[in-house]
């Protein structure tokens, strides 16, 4: 029970800044107080994302990042498989 409580507290401490940042991005006016983490749901809007998408084309940047990340992951997996196979087949001291 004690380890579960410690893990739950650790998860909360780790995830709260992400929650706070996301909720802050949905608010119409910035509220940096602790009360800003629990806003009135009627005051939340996606207008900030519409504004930033209009000024810098956010979707294109996200697609480019996704393509680049997918390529890196693909090459990492392919080369990892090749090296893993080579190490599994090789005879070397300490194996």
* Confidence bin at 5 (pLDDT 50/70/90): very high
What is the average pLDDT value for the chain, to the nearest integer? 90
Alpha helices per DSSP H over the chain: 2-26, 47-56, 58-89
Cα 23 to Cα 37: distance, rounded to the nearest angstrom: 7
Let me know: does 44 contact 27? Beta carbons within 8 Å: yes
- Candidates 29, 33, 37; CA nearest to 12 is 37
Chain segment 45-87, per-residue pLDDT in tens: 899 888 888 888 888 999 999 999 999 999 999 999 999 999 9
The Cα diameter of the chain in Å comes to 67
Over 80: is that where the pLDDT of 30 sits?
no
Instruction: Flag whether the pTM goes above 0.75.
Output: no
């Amino acid at each position: 029970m004690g380890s579960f409580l410690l893990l739950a507290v650790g998860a909360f401490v780790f995830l709260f800044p992400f929650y706070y940042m996301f909720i802050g991005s949905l608010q119409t006016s910035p509220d940096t107080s602790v009360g800003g983490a629990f806003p009135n749901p009627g005051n939340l809007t996606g207008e900030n994302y519409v504004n930033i998408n209009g000024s810098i084309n956010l979707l294109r940047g996200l697609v480019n990042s996704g393509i680049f990340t997918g390529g890196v992951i693909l090459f990492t997996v392919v080369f990892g498989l090749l090296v893993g196979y080579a190490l599994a087949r090789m005879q070397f001291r300490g194996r």
